Amino acid sequence: EAYRKLVTVTEISTSEDIVSYIDTAITSMCSVCGKQINKSISDFPEKIGVHGNNVIIILLMPLIHNAIEASPDKASISIKCVETNEKYVITVENTCEIPPKQNNLNTDGYSTKNDGGEGLRSVRRISKSIGIGFHIKVNTKNKRVVATLNVPKK
């Protein structure tokens, strides 16, 4: 719920705005979850893809929220944006106490929360409808989850 309060009609127009928004979101969500999380947020370009930065923020918020909820207290979360010739690759990576099964993450309606969750399904549906690639990978050996958005430049 905390991320919904952060998404506004004001355009997030600079890379500093994106990083600041993500930083504020993590701080707010950590407060709600009662956790301290070490965060690493890479530089972002001025504009990510053709849909605008607000769309990217809308897609990132549920992923960041899930990462915080799944992470143990004092764990670290990394949000990176890497630019290639054709796309931006944005990752949200976190450690989790109990790694979910990979197949479960691809099932609509699956949630590790007692009160349910629609975050991953929302990200899948929105990203698919606007041509942004999305996948999530679990590494059970090192208890890491990596969610990736592939945002075309054009």
Q: Considering the entire predicted model, what is its pTM?
A: 0.87
pLDDT in tens, 62-71: 999 989 988 9
Say if residue 46 is exposed, middle or buried (CB neighbours under 10 Å; 0-12, 13-18, 19+): exposed
In angstroms, the Cα distances linking 97 to 22, 102, 107, 142 are 23, 15, 20, 10
Do the beta carbons of residue 136 and residue 101 sit within 8 Å? no
Largest Cα span, the chain: 42
Phi/psi at 116 (5° precision): 80, 175
Question: So what's the pLDDT on residue 116?
Answer: 59
Residue 77, pLDDT score: 96
Mean pLDDT of the chain: 85
- pLDDT, one tens digit per residue, over 83-130 is 999 999 999 999 988 888 888 887 777 776 655 567 888 899 899 999
pLDDT at residue number 4: 46
The whole-number pLDDT of residue 43 equals: 82
Give me the pLDDT at residue 53, please: 86
